Amino acid sequence: MGVPVIDRFYFQSDQAGPRLRIGLLVDGDHVPAFAAVVIEHIRACDFADIVLVVERKDGQSQLAEKPNWLKRAWRVLRTKARRRTFCYALYTRLEEKLARNPQADPLRMVDVSHELSGIPRLEVEPQASGFVHRFPAETVETVREYKLDVLLRFGFNILKGDILTAARCGIWSYHHGDPEFYRGAPPQFWEMAEGNPRSGAVLQILDEHLDGGTVLEKGIFSNDLSISVRRNRITVFWGSVHFVIARLKVLHEQGIEHLLAQAYPAVPYRGRRVIYRTPSNGEFLRWFLGTLACKLRHKFGPRQVEHWQIAVRRSGTTFAVQPERGSVDLSGFAFVPSPKGLCYADPFVFWHQGQPYVFFECDSYRGQPAIISVAQIGADGIGPVSPCLALPFHLSFPQVFEAEGEIFMMPESLEAGELALYRAVAFPHHWEKDRVLLQGNVVDAALWQQDGHWYLFATVVDLRSRTSSLHLFFSETLHGPWEPHPENPLSYDVRRARGAGALFQRSGKLFRPSQDGSGSYGRALEFNMVDELSAGHYAEHVALVVTPDHVPRQGKAVATGVHTYHEAGGIEVIDAKFRVPARRVL
């Protein structure tokens, strides 16, 4: 089968049952851009219809007003609460004005009146008490008459009361933050202010408790600890935009009981504050000025780059990385220098006719597409490096393996929009394209064969947000057709969604390496022990984490990341990045 980009993954149901009946809770004809995309997903799928729009009366009257700057200034000056948060309000306005691509803003208001034309509307004036909205009893009964399966909340304030149970499966609502640590607002600011390298988003079924509902889907995303909250919102909001359509598909195919069985278990709240609120002027300025000073030091200090290198180790009697024991010692690895202007990463070992080879990405600082290179591994390191696969687009992550009496390579080729298999014509330097396994934005894929099935772990990248999600496919043969696993996506977690090497067995246990991209690309490695792998079920848990602190210094250079591990025939390879003066490597 061909696999399209992630936007199309969840648009077709495998079941022929009645279409789901969806209602929308909105403040008017304008919704945030991310919500408009969710609406597009529902309209494009073959298993759900929007049958009711519940609109807040006068909910967007402020959009019709365009007061001049004097009126806006007066509103701020006369209100104590607005004066207290003036700096943050000014900052958000400046970010909007200075944005290079305003269309990327997930909170940009979009007119969806055309998309919702012809759908019955119910105008509601909620009963307000502070930030809480309750619906009149007669309105709730009217909503029930539509026999909705799900209500999606893209408007109103905090909802409480009988409206929470007016749809068969409740009100589904986003919370753009990890509710285990951040409850309240504004989204993504406090993660940055507290120096957290991760942010989150959940899709939850609302209940009477603020941000305490049943979590149907959860994503953990990398936080860019720079000076732009907007940049992190783009990541989090667009990275989670598929949550609704993916969970609706599960609801249609397998029912509410199965959906609730897959829900995330409730965890105690561990945030530093009971409820986060818009930062005061003092809180904002402490964060902003401190971050700005750090940014200026980096900008005007000596130019440095993060330089990737590969390293090799002959394991002898013990392995350096032992996830089955929870131990790691990288002191025995020998790093391989690369010529000036090049860097090496993503190493894989393959044995052929008794001789070990290392295949790896060879990337250029001069802008040429990365290629796959190869070298023999000797007793004292690696031999001469030579190219073995070069194409007009970027190549990396070359898993090399033998199957059906032939040698294959499966490199990453994101820029080509496909995951392709290459067959060795004359090992190790000549390869020809055998076939395309998957179509789409796939990176760092890994194959595993077990119990009569091939399993393909594929990291799918959403190009708008640059976020990743882990998907699993299976087939009876290497050449397909490949079927999507029923528990897809396996992960939206930046610590586990992207592959970091081939799967491997130790002491009868199966491990899947993954990259932790929290805060920066390729920051660390996680080794996940596979608890269950079949065509119907998948489960894993983290057994070992390898961080840059485990990587030995290279002279004065300290490692800032490590993101690939592979072992074959007693030879281990890793890669790591080091912050070094640009003049040394460019």
Q: What is the pLDDT of residue 4?
A: 36
Q: What is the pLDDT of residue 5?
A: 42
167-184 pLDDT per residue, tens: 999 999 999 999 999 998
Q: What is the pLDDT of residue 71?
A: 66
Q: What is the pLDDT of residue 2?
A: 42
Number of other residues whose CB lies within 10 A of the CB of residue 22? 23
d(CA 349, CA 360): 9
3 state DSSP class of 138: helix
Residue percentage of the chain with pLDDT more than 70: 96
Q: What is the pLDDT of residue 73?
A: 65
Q: Which residue would you say has higher pLDDT here, 14 or 245?
A: 245
Within this chain, domains 18-297 and 304-585 share the same CATH topology? no
d(CA 321, CA 327): 6
Report the CATH number of the 304-585 domain: 2.115.10.20
* pLDDT band at 325; cut points 50, 70, 90: very high
Average pLDDT score over residue span 68-94: 79
Q: What is the pLDDT of residue 68?
A: 64
* pLDDT band at 60; cut points 50, 70, 90: confident
Q: Is the pLDDT score of 308 beyond 60?
A: yes
100-140 pLDDT per residue, tens: 888 999 999 999 999 999 999 999 999 999 889 999 999 99
**Cis amide prior to 302 (ω within 30 degrees):** no
Q: Which residue would you say has higher pLDDT here, 242 or 1?
A: 242
Average pLDDT score over residue span 245-259: 95
Average pLDDT score over residue span 214-232: 94
* pLDDT band at 6; cut points 50, 70, 90: very low
d(CA 411, CA 401): 11
Q: What is the pTM of this model?
A: 0.92
d(CA 556, CA 104): 40
CATH 3.40.50.1820 fits 18-297, yes or no: no
Tokens of 258: 């199965």
C-beta of residue 519 within 8 angstroms of C-beta of residue 225:
yes
Q: Is the pLDDT score of 511 beyond 90?
A: yes
Q: At what angle do helices 86-98 and 229-239 cross, to 10 degrees?
A: 70
As a whole number, the mean pLDDT across the chain is: 92
d(CA 211, CA 205): 9
Q: Is the pLDDT score of 540 beyond 60?
A: yes
103: closest CA among 225, 201, 238, 6?
238
350-388 pLDDT per residue, tens: 999 999 999 999 999 998 999 999 999 998 889 999 999
Average pLDDT score over residue span 22-36: 96
418-453 pLDDT per residue, tens: 999 999 999 999 999 999 999 989 999 999 999 999
Q: Which residue would you say has higher pLDDT here, 5 or 96?
A: 96
Close Cβ partners of 246 (under 8 Å, ≥ 6 residues apart): 9, 10, 217, 489
Q: What is the pLDDT of residue 82?
A: 80
Q: What is the pLDDT of residue 79?
A: 77
Where are the domains positioned within the chain? 18-297, 304-585
